[in-house]
Amino acid sequence: MKLLASLTLALLFSATAFGQTNATDATVTDCAGTSYNLFDELDAGKIIVIGWTMPCATCAGPLLDVHNAVLGFAVSHPGVVEYWMTDDFSNSSCVTIQDWCAASGITNAKFFSSTELDMFDYGSAGMPKVVVLGCTDHKVYYNKNNSPSGQAAEVSINYALDDLANACQPVGIAELEVTNLDVSCFPNPTSSVLNVTVGMVAPQAVVIEVIGLNGKVFSTVSMADLNLLVDGIQLDVNNLATGIYMLKVSSNEETVVEKFEVK
């Protein structure tokens, strides 16, 4: 039954992954001062769910949904499934992360602000981002940018639990749910021009917006019938005040948000 469900998921998900199928090791200290080694935690039979946030208002709903899914395993599998919440680029303090999580209802988690938990180890950035990691082979069971869901995370955690019950033998197929848009921007920070690269699994129109943290839209660029990979889109940010901004790239199917800084 598990194999059939996995094959069904494989048909639903894109065949092109911007991530990887195995976790990257990290030794990281949480906001309470406790140190963890990711592989040691996985080798001990833990399933680690990592959520990255800006933090931003649009991140709260999806990350709370995943939090609630993880919380559902606290009774059925106590001490097995853990939720690690971290800042996207480690430029928010622990106090900021913890206060934002508390205000968003995310309380049953370990909190981090560290470059050791690098979202780029799992493909492209996109806020919010969630991965589910498990087993002694350090497998990635779920990898989703922008719109992670508690339901998908729950399915992925159950796959990991099944593998743990079978000594991590490959009794099923672990699936990556991946983004159809791959967006990057550089230099970051910038002072005048932001270079944007957009990768897609199929040609489509996109809208690119520069948005302030207060939601104000500073510029909008509409581009029709883009090819699979577009390099060198240049946005003039010379008129923006120093601060943090969001680059929002939207297609008919998906939205990717990247954070950048103007200095």
Distance (Å) of CA 75 to CA 24, 49, 79, 135, 231? 29, 17, 9, 20, 49
pLDDT at position 202: 66
Question: What pLDDT was estimated at residue 177?
Answer: 45
Phi-psi region at 152: left, alpha or beta (left = phi > 0; alpha = psi -120 to 50): alpha
For residue 5, the model assigns a pLDDT of: 34
Q: Once rounded to an integer, what is the mean pLDDT over residues 107-135?
A: 91
- pLDDT on residue 212: 82
**What ranges in the chain are assigned the alpha helix state H?**
2-12, 38-43, 57-71, 73-76, 94-104, 150-165
Instruction: State the pLDDT at residue 85.
Output: 97
pLDDT value of residue 248: 84
Helix (H, G, I), strand (E, B) or coil at 247: strand
DSSP letter for each residue of 162-198 = HHHHTTT---S-------SEEEEEESSSBSSEEEEEE
pLDDT above 70 (res 171): no
- What is the set of domains in the chain, with CATH numbers? 2-165 (3.40.30.10), 181-262 (2.60.40.1930)
10 Å Cβ neighbour count for 193?
Answer: 13
Q: What average pLDDT does range 127-142 have in this prediction?
A: 92
The C-alpha atoms of residue 175 and residue 198 are separated, in whole angstroms, by: 24
The residue whose two tokens read 């769910």 is 49
243-250 and 204-212 strand pairing:
antiparallel
Residues 119-156 as b or e (16 or more Cβ within 10 Å = b): bebbbbbbbbbbbbbbbeebbbbbbbbbbbbbebbbbb
> What letter represents residue 136's amino acid?
T
Task: Give CA–CA dist 171/155, Å, rounded.
Answer: 15
Query: Average pLDDT of 73-90?
Result: 91
The pLDDT of residue 136 is 92
Q: How far apart are CA 237 and CA 151, in angstroms?
A: 39
HSE-CB of 104 using CA atoms within 13 angstroms: 26
